[in-house]
């Protein structure tokens, strides 16, 4: 296929040139090639050049950027390379809008460090958001596969030094980022959602226990006779603990065979992650929210209600969260909860329907706390279906066991005890017979679709309490994205400070992703795919080398506008030859 020129002469002898899109076809009968005109562009002197340019750009999208750049290179210039630009340019724009670069540069002042540390950390954050990989692979990605403003070549050691510095400045950086984000985005920060997860390491060797304080921080002095490996649930005094950072614990990744660390995250009602924490892998959840409360209190926030799941509902935690005028909304355990919870569930009353088919009612039991029972009819149907399936499976397992010996029945009961869902409904008679516990089924039926909330704030309506707790899903969504999009796990670092820095890089990547999603209303997967189609092309010639960005599509332009990020310049770099 090619552009053909046809010439015609007018009556007055003037020569007119016409441009046509043509290609040659083989005529089998005539045994010769014939020219077939596919489209006529009209007179050459009246050509709609803007329309031709749009056609070329449109056809160029069907090709790989590298190949399109080679074919469209201006005369006398040699194509060098093409790299994705859109994703890093957008993330860099948000990085600067949120003042992260300014904070890091301020903290760099007067330090004997590479001045590119801020750029290096941005590049590592962009890698987590766009193409998560190990640090050696991330270094290669930065050097060869992407365009990052202000950073051309970097080595792995520079990345590690920048990470070490990030772990050092985290308290100041987190505070500055929080106030920049809330002010710039005008966030409503009356609810802080907190939850934890765990992330594992591809090694079968845990770290050696070392002396730590209650918050899992390393202590300078060795552990003395008072050192203990137990938690201090009452929070009385600072006990020295012997813990390795990478250690075995209750895994939330279903990998109890691997060492892990515990990671906590605080999120606003808008889904913006404002801070993360890292603790040794054997740390229990119950005491962690007190540290979160103390750390965020240093930010001198206005009144904040902390929202947390059932793992944080101890009396010590509730007392700590009430200090300084703050409060809490905490899920309460239903099956093995407090006497107050059992009393609340036994009280009668009418439910009021709120959003998303959720029904709520407040129960007065004389406690300083308020108790709100939430009921979801759809969830009740699902709970009943799951229970029926479990009971059917249990019945099949114990059917006919009366004829077995007592020893065999005890062995089967031991097997069932390893399956919590089935064991919940198993009852053993004094004679050792295995039965389905009908009384337990009746009690469980009364809990279908229900969960119980404990709230300390008297001003919130029951509806606000229920909907606020439901937004705890924002944290769970954050964990899903941290693990599936940003690749928090598995972690390949060995040193504790590097592990903490890795978690911080993932947090900063999630922060930029959430800001982008909230501003555009699109998922990160969609945003990333569209933006990564924007490339920077490098050419060289007798006069020098230059880099230029490809043409913006309308969707790309709309995204930059929504994010309040300037579109990239046409010419990004120009080096004139000597």
Q: What are 528-566's pLDDT values in tens digits?
A: 999 999 999 988 887 788 888 988 999 999 999 999 999
Query: Is residue 328 included in any domain, yes or no?
Result: yes
* In a shared domain, residues 398 and 474: no
State the sign of the Cα–Cα–Cα–Cα dihedral 5, 8, 9, 10. negative
Q: What are the angstrom distances between the C-alpha of 188 and each of 192, 275, 508? A: 10, 16, 20
Taking the C-alpha atoms of residue 196 and residue 266, their distance in angstroms, rounded to an integer, is: 9
- Structure-derived torsion over alpha carbons of residues 204, 209, 213, 215, reported in degrees to the nearest 10: 0
Residue 565 per-residue DSSP state: -
Q: Is residue 410 part of a domain?
A: yes
Q: How far apart are CA 362 and CA 372, in angstroms?
A: 4
Residue 249 placed within a domain: yes
Residue 401 structural domain: 379-445
Nearest to 243 by CA among 255, 228, 257: 228
Say whether both 194 and 294 belong to one domain: yes
Count CB-CB contacts under 10 A for residue 246: 23
Peptide bond into 300 cis (omega under 30): no
Q: Are residues 341 and 483 in the same domain?
A: yes
**How far apart, in whole angstroms, are the C-alpha atoms of residue 508 and residue 486?**
10
CA distances from residue 575 to 296, 483, 538, 539, 547 in whole angstroms, order as listed: 48, 42, 11, 11, 9
- Region 75-83: mean pLDDT is 78
Same domain for 299 and 232: yes
Is pLDDT of 401 > 70?
yes
Which band of pLDDT confidence, cut at 50, 70 and 90, is reported for residue 224?
A: very low
Q: Is residue 476 part of a domain?
A: yes
So what's the pLDDT on residue 505?
Answer: 96
Domain count, the chain: 2
Q: Which helix (H) or strand (E) holds 465?
A: helix 462-470
Q: What is the pLDDT of residues 183-209, one digit of tens each?
A: 877 776 678 888 899 999 988 889 999
Residue 310 pLDDT level (bands cut at 50, 70, 90): confident
Residue predicted with more confidence, 142 or 300: 142
For the chain, give the percent of residues with pLDDT over 70: 91
Q: Are strands 191-200 and 305-308 parallel, antiparallel or unpaired?
A: parallel
At 488-532, the pLDDT tens digits run: 887 888 899 999 999 999 999 999 999 999 999 999 999 999 999
From 436, 471, 493, give the residue that closes a domain. Answer: 493
* CB-CB contact of 280 with 212 (8 Å): yes
Average pLDDT of span 325-344: 82
Non-local (6+) Cβ contacts of 519 within 8 A are 562, 563, 564
pLDDT band for position 34 (cuts 50, 70, 90): confident
- What's the pLDDT band for 228 if we cut at 50, 70, 90? very low
Q: Is the domain of 330 the same as that of 276?
A: yes
> What are the pLDDT digits (tens) for 256-303?
899 999 999 988 888 889 999 999 998 887 778 888 888 888 787 766
Say whether pLDDT at 356 is over 60: yes
Residues 222 and 312 in one domain: yes
Residues 472 and 410 in one domain: no
Across 8-36, average pLDDT:
82
Identify whether residues 438 and 339 lie together within a single domain: no
Of 67, 62, 162, the closest CA to residue 115 belongs to: 162
Q: What's the chain's length in residues? A: 578
Here the tokens at position 281 are 């892998």
Residue 376 has pLDDT above 80, yes or no: yes
404 shares its domain with 464:
no
Separation CA 469–CA 195 (nearest Å) = 12
The answer to the question of residue 67 being in a domain is no
Tell me whether residue 137 is in a domain. Answer: no
Of the candidate ranges 110-114, 130-134, 158-162, 409-413, the one whose mean pLDDT is the lowest: 110-114
Q: How confident is the model at residue 225 (pLDDT cuts 50, 70, 90)?
A: very low
Whole-angstrom Cα distance, residue 314 to residue 77? 70
Answer whether residue 397 is part of any domain. yes
**Strand 191-200, strand 260-268: pairing:** antiparallel
439, 468: one domain: no
Residues 86-98, mean pLDDT to the nearest whole number: 96
Q: Do 250 and 303 sit in the same domain of this protein?
A: yes
Query: What is the full DSSP assignment across 328-363?
Result: EEEEE-SSS--HHHHHHHH-----EEETTTEEEEEE
Pick from 31-35, 225-229, 568-572: least confident: 225-229
Residues 441 and 460 in one domain: no
Going by pLDDT thresholds of 50, 70 and 90, the confidence category of residue 94 is very high
Range with lowest mean pLDDT among 314-323, 443-452, 519-528: 314-323
Structure tokens at 57: 């750009």
pLDDT at 226: 36
Q: What are phi and psi of 526, to 5 degrees?
A: -70, -45
Residue 13 placed within a domain: no
Mean pLDDT estimate for the chain: 86
The helix, strand and coil proportions of the chain, stated in percent and rounded to the nearest 5, come to 40, 25, 35
């Amino acid at each position: 296929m090619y552009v053909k020129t046809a010439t015609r002469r007018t009556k007055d002898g003037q020569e007119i040139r016409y441009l046509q899109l043509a290609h040659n076809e083989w005529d089998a009968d005539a045994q010769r090639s014939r020219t077939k005109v596919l489209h006529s562009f009209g007179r050459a002197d009246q050509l709609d050049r803007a329309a031709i340019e749009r056609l070329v750009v449109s056809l160029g999208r069907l090709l790989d950027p590298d190949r399109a750049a080679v074919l469209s290179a201006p005369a006398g210039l040699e194509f060098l390379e093409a790299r994705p630009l859109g994703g890093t340019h957008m993330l860099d724009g948000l990085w600067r809008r949120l003042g992260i670069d300014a904070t890091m540069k301020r903290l760099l002042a007067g330090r004997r460090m590479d001045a590119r540390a801020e750029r290096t950390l941005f590049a590592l954050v962009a890698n987590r958001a766009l193409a998560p990989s190990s640090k050696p692979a991330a270094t290669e990605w930065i050097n060869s596969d992407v365009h990052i403003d202000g950073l051309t070549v970097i080595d792995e050691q520079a990345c590690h030094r920048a990470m070490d510095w990030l772990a050092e400045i985290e308290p100041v950086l987190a505070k500055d980022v929080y106030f920049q984000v809330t002010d710039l985005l005008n966030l409503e920060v009356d609810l802080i959602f907190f939850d934890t997860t765990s992330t594992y390491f591809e090694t079968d060797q845990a770290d050696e226990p070392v002396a730590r304080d209650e918050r899992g921080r390393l202590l300078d002095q060795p552990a003395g006779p008072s050192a203990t490996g137990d938690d201090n649930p009452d929070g009385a005094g600072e006990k020295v603990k012997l813990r390795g950072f990478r250690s075995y614990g209750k895994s939330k990744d279903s990998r109890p065979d691997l060492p892990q660390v515990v990671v906590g995250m605080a999120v606003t009602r808008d889904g913006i992650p404002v801070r993360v924490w890292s603790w040794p892998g054997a740390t229990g959840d119950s005491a962690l929210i007190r540290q979160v409360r103390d750390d965020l209190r240093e930010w001198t926030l206005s009144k904040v209600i902390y929202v947390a799941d059932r793992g944080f509902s101890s009396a010590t935690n509730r007392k700590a969260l009430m200090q300084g005028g703050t409060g809490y909304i905490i899920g309460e355990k239903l099956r093995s909860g407090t006497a107050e919870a059992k009393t609340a569930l036994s009280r009668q009353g009418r439910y009021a329907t709120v959003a998303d088919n959720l029904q709520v009612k407040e129960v007065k039991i004389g406690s300083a706390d308020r108790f709100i029972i939430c009921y979801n009819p759809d969830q009740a149907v699902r709970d009943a279906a799951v229970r029926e399936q479990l009971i059917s499976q249990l019945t099949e397992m114990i059917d006919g066991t009366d004829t077995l010996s007592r020893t065999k029945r005890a062995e089967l009961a031991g097997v069932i005890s390893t399956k919590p869902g089935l064991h919940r409904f198993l009852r053993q008679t004094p004679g050792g017979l295995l039965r389905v516990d009908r009384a337990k089924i009746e009690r469980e039926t009364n809990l279908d679709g229900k969960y119980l909330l404990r709230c300390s704030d008297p001003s919130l309506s029951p509806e606000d309490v229920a909907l606020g707790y439901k937004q705890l899903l924002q944290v769970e969504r954050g964990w899903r994205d941290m693990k599936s999009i940003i690749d928090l796990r598995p972690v390949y670092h060995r040193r504790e400070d590097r592990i903490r820095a890795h978690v911080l890089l993932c947090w900063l990547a999630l922060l930029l992703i959430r800001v982008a999603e909230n501003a555009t209303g699109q998922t990160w997967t969609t945003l990333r795919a569209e933006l990564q189609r924007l490339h920077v092309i490098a050419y060289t010639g007798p006069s020098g080398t230059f880099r230029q960005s490809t043409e913006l599509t309308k969707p790309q332009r709309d995204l930059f506008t929504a994010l309040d990020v300037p579109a990239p310049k046409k010419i990004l770099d120009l080096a004139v030859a000597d």
